Amino acid sequence: MLLKSIPKVDKFITNKAFEGLAKSLITKISKEQIAKLRVDILENKVDSIDEKLLINLVLKEYENISSSSLKTLINATGVIVHTNLGRSLLDKSSLEKAINIASSYNNLEYNLEKGQRGERYEHITKSLKELLGCEDALVVNNNASAVFLILNTFCKNKEVIVSRGELVEIGGSFRVPEVMSQSGAILKEIGTTNKTHLRDYENAIDENSAMLLKVHKSNYEIVGFSSEVSFEDISKLAKNKNIIDYYDMGSGHINELPYNLSKDEPSIKELMKSNPSLLSFSGDKLLGSVQAGIIVGKKELIDKIKKNQLLRMLRVDKITLALLEDTINLYIKNDLDKIPTLKMLNTSLEVLKHRALNLQKSLENSLETKVYESKTVVGGGTTPNKTIPTIVLSLDYKDFKANKIEEILREKLIICRIENDKAILDFRTIKEEDLEILEKKLKEIFKNG
């Protein structure tokens, strides 16, 4: 009997509630929901038809499908360059410039002086040369593609000499030996896992060698009885032997870093002093810009890379170039506060503590909290095994376990960290402008004390 009163799709979709919505999508969802209702009736799961409920289900699903799946959230993990959470943030002022470029015609590949076709990479090359004093530069989709492009250009069917301690796997799908074989290069491993000496490089060079490659270890560190050769020494040796020296820096930072982070990791500016053939690094790790792979080095070599057809497949859009150019200009103007990654890294403990205590005070009546100093990491394979100090606020609520609190916060788009069985908010990565929203959300979540 109930089956007979199931709404007909044709009529159902004319309901006022669906006015102004995409008809084809509403029809598709309505069909699905009505079919489901039919099954529920047959299985005796419902004993009446509530058309209002049905309409609401359709509207909810419509909203679900048509709203954006990418969402903003609050990173309270303390990990600044968090690949799962979008790596480096961009300042809105940089984005405004990119919006202007992208929503307007522009001189991306047009030479305004000559009134003819220009070069896409010229704009960013100019800024990078100014900042780093390199002969030339090139930008591709990400650092993984920079590595691939370089190996494919110079080392196809030729040997690339790499230390066994540097044959790393980085986040998911980037494994040095595999990237190398796909690029056509022949891997020549030298040294041992824990120790590689300059003489290992020297002994390995023969007439088939094209390159000495150094790879930043990024996500691990060999401690104890270990040694590696500095890029400076590798670079010198390569020049003596007339082959290419190339350092895949992974993250790569421009200036010195706080907390002694750059003690064992020279900055790009520092490395440029040894006049390297080629360096590459990511745009969205410590540099603090957009996703990109940046190649700097000798003009003669970069000219050859530009002739590789692969470059066309790895090329970046005007939006990337506009954003990257803006970041590089911020470095040139020493306006580093507009680079969120560096701003977070450089915020003092006093400031973080002040913010944590403020939040603690406002949550007094909602839940139990403690503010204390802890440690976090930069992330993104930037400075493996090194920690930086931070300020955290631990959350205790009734007899809830830490992972329960973590889950509740995650539902409200706050991603926290669990440390010593406590859910904690790390202030290193909570943006200043998000503090108010965070307070509001926490009060709402834990309102009944």
Ligand X SMILES: *Cc1c(COP(=O)(O)O)cnc(C)c1O
Query: Binding residues for ligand X, per CB under 6 A?
Result: 142-144, 147, 170, 174, 215-216, 218, 248, 250-251, 282, 293, 381
Supply the minimum distance, in Å, between the C-beta of residue 147 and ligand X: 6
**Considering beta carbons, is residue 145 or 374 the nearer one to ligand X?**
145
Return d(Cα 35, Cα 44) in angstroms, integer.
14
d(CA 195, CA 395): 45
Q: How far is the CB of 236 from ligand X (least distance, A)?
A: 22
Nearest distance from C-beta of residue 340 to ligand X, angstroms: 18
Name all contacts of 312-317 with Cβ < 8 Å and 24+ positions apart.
314/140, 314/141, 314/145, 314/148, 314/149, 315/120, 315/140, 315/141, 316/139, 316/140, 316/141, 316/292
| Token pair 């109930």 in the structure block, residue | 2
Q: How near is the Cβ of 293 to ligand X at its closest, in Å?
A: 6
Which residue is it, tokens 């000495």?
212
Phi, psi (degrees; rounded to nearest 5) at 300: -55, -40
Q: Which is nearer to ligand X, 252 or 393 (CB)?
A: 252
Residue with CB nearest ligand X? 250
> Given the complex with ligand X, which of 147 and 339 has the nearer CB atom?
147
Residue 83 or 329 with smaller CB distance to ligand X = 83
Helix-then-strand count for the chain, H and E: 17, 17
Shortest Cβ distance from residue 315 to ligand X (Å)?
A: 15
Q: Considering the complex, what minimum distance in angstroms separates the CB of residue 285 from ligand X? A: 6
Residue with Cβ nearer ligand X (262 or 362): 262
Chain CA centroid to CA 292, Å: 10
| Burial of 300 from C-beta contacts in 10 A (0-12 / 13-18 / 19+) | exposed
Q: How far is the CB of 174 from ligand X (least distance, A)?
A: 5
% helix / strand / coil in the chain, to the nearest 5? 45, 20, 40
| Nearest residue (CB) to ligand X, 146 versus 424 | 146
How much is the CA Rg of the chain, to the nearest whole Å? 28
Rounded CA separation 305/309 (Å): 9
Smallest separation (angstroms) from ligand X to the CB of 328: 16
DSSP for 79-121, written as a single string: -SS-GGGTSS---HHHHHHHHHHHTS---TTEETTTTEE--TT
Closest CB to ligand X among residues 77, 382: 382
CB of residue 272 to ligand X, shortest distance in Å: 18
With respect to ligand X, which residue has the nearer C-beta, 125 or 280?
280
245 vs 248, beta carbon nearer ligand X: 248
From the CB of residue 302, how many other CB atoms can be counted at a distance below 10 Å? 22
| Minimum distance from residue 251 beta carbon to ligand X (Å) | 6
What's the rounded Cα separation, in Å, for the pair 356 and 347? 13
Query: Please, which residue, 142 or 366, has the CB nearer to ligand X?
Result: 142
Q: Please, are residues 396 and 418 in contact by the beta-carbon 8 Å criterion?
A: no
